[in-house]
A and B are shown apart, each in its own frame.
Chain A
């Protein structure tokens, strides 16, 4: 393995801009610029601190909240060949310990200080994070405890090359970064931008909910490329209607990903960014972006938008419930193979379950490694690929993968809960909303507040049902005796909901 494989090109590309355009802004944060020189200087300082304490090639957990300085910390890890483990900043502490232990991570960097982490109960497997790893992202496992996903430098470099070309990200291009730094979306908004001399406009999570503020960032920085979950566009469109200002003329590309794009939100976005090309992107943390569909503005807006065509070098296929590959139209589990994909989870058993290798693949001798996405998709006679839903109990709420079976299990852990059913209902603003109906013991005085508190203490943020309805009658069951999730929505109280336009802007 060469030096380039071990350290990658992306970090060096960023640091080269510091020599070429030192005074140009690299990052924006609440109105203040960080120049490429300042970014490089902070990166050098972090590299020196890491070199004193961390042995070569060791994984470093970056625990600071999103900020320009944290970007420099991640850049320092990449440049020095330390795989950067980026856990969600909102993880319960037990989950954080579990994910660092699983990744064999013994060092954390926070507030300009390296701290040694105690070895986990498993001790951390040798080789959990292989040499050549750039990022270690995390994804929600089926139990709600996040799983480490190592991404190789070679995959990160291939992705940033594709993304810069696809979205025309060059020196000076302003790109909005809405996602937290631990999301794979940042490979586009932050890392592709910096590697090509652009300006990454970071959204401070403390104001991420303020739609007028988000709209203000788009206008002030004349953002040209923006990527976000559908909820972002719903909020910004509502804010724009309330504000009554003109459309966003600067936006060249608007990318939505992570969830199904509601029809109304797509129509609103098309009006708000009248000259932007609109793209639906499908990807998983394990594989990065895999499929892209560009909306044809001259035709009726599709609902839901198709998954689209594979990115260059990406292959996709469907496998039916009998395990056979589908040669033509039909429905099955989506399998993808990308040039950007993970080397596999630290747990070999989980890797074997989700990543498969073809026994023989053509005359080249190269064997294709496939990732089983767990998503159900279908192709029609024209070869158009559409997402149907999750195969298991995974749902996506505002871009966060939630396992409804796990939420039900946690709910059943409450002493007063007899039955529990969790599902999603369509929502104008959120796309989908997580709801729970729980049957309480007849003698119980537990309220929805008690149950939400119970969940909050045991589940990641985003997994606590927005609507939680305690009932005293039995839950509907299917013929096989399982809670009939599809019948739960009918048990919700018919509360009047405010129209989408009112959210965040006053009724």
Chain B
């Protein structure tokens, strides 16, 4: 299972439980379309940190990093290839 598939699977389970992961396009705007609210973003960040074993620093809290499955996937890839600068 790719990272993107894992992310999709989590988002669907937590926020859109009537969907199947295949019904969630990877470029779907999760924030603009109200799929995830502001508290949901916190949960999502906590899950990303735990699941991918990385620390989301203050400078990474930009919602753009969590706007879509593709954006989160890219963020995780960037974070895993760079030294952790957490904060």
Contacts and interface: CB of A to CB of B under 8 A. Distances in A.
B76 to A, nearest CB: 15
A495 B17 contact: yes
B40 to A, nearest CB: 7
Interface string B15-55: 01111000110001000111101111111011101100000
Contacts of B62: 206
A487 interface: no
Interface in A231-247: 231, 235
A211 B56 CA distance: 12
Residue among A211, A466, A498 with max Cβ neighbours from chain B (10 Å) = A466
B16 A448 contact: yes
A502 B40 CA distance: 12
Contacts of A449: 16, 19, 23-24, 28, 33, 35
A503 B61 contact: no
B42 A452 contact: no
B37 A466 contact: yes
Residue among A206, A429, A448, A505 with max Cβ neighbours from chain B (10 Å) = A448
Interface residues of B, number: 29
Interface string A436-450: 000000000001110
Contacts of A209: 38, 41-42, 61
A49 interface: no
A207 interface: yes
A188 interface: no
A452 B31 CA distance: 10
Given A207-B58, A503-B46, A506-B49, A429 B34 contact: no
Given A464-B34, A464-B37, A507-B47, A447 B18 contact: yes
Contacts of A235: 42
Contacts of B19: 447-449
Given A213-B58, A213-B61, A464-B34, A447 B16 contact: yes
Given A206-B61, A210-B61, A502-B46, A452 B35 contact: yes
A93 to B, nearest CB: 14
Residue among B23, B49, B58, B87 with max Cβ neighbours from chain A (10 Å) = B58
B18 A448 contact: yes
Contacts of A206: 61-63
Contacts of A390: none
B46 A453 contact: no
Interface in A455-470: 455-456, 462, 464, 466, 469-470
Nearest to B29: A453
A231 B62 CA distance: 20
A231 B63 CA distance: 19
Interface string A319-356: 00000000000000000000000000000000000000
A503 B39 contact: yes
Contacts of A231: 39
Contacts of B61: 206-207, 209-210, 213
Nearest to A446: B18
A283 interface: no
B41 to A, nearest CB: 6
Contacts of A469: 18
Nearest to B86: A212
Nearest to B39: A430
B46 A466 contact: no
Nearest to A430: B39
A466 B58 contact: no
Residue among B16, B18, B45 with max Cβ neighbours from chain A (10 Å) = B18
Interface string A212-242: 1100000000000000000100010000000
Residue among B16, B37, B38, B45 with max Cβ neighbours from chain A (10 Å) = B37
Contact of B33 (A210, A429, A456): A456
A313 B40 CA distance: 42
Closest 10 pairs between A and B when the two form their complex, measured CB to CB: A456-B34, A464-B34, A452-B34, A453-B33, A504-B42, A210-B61, A506-B49, A506-B50, A506-B46, A448-B16
Given A448-B17, A506-B49, 20 more contacts: A206-B61, A206-B62, A207-B61, A209-B38, A209-B61, A210-B61, A398-B39, A447-B18, A448-B16, A448-B35, A449-B23, A452-B33, A452-B35, A453-B35, A456-B33, A464-B34, A495-B14, A495-B17, A502-B46, A507-B47
13 contacts: A206-B62, A209-B42, A213-B58, A231-B39, A447-B16, A447-B18, A447-B23, A448-B17, A448-B35, A466-B39, A466-B40, A503-B43, A505-B46
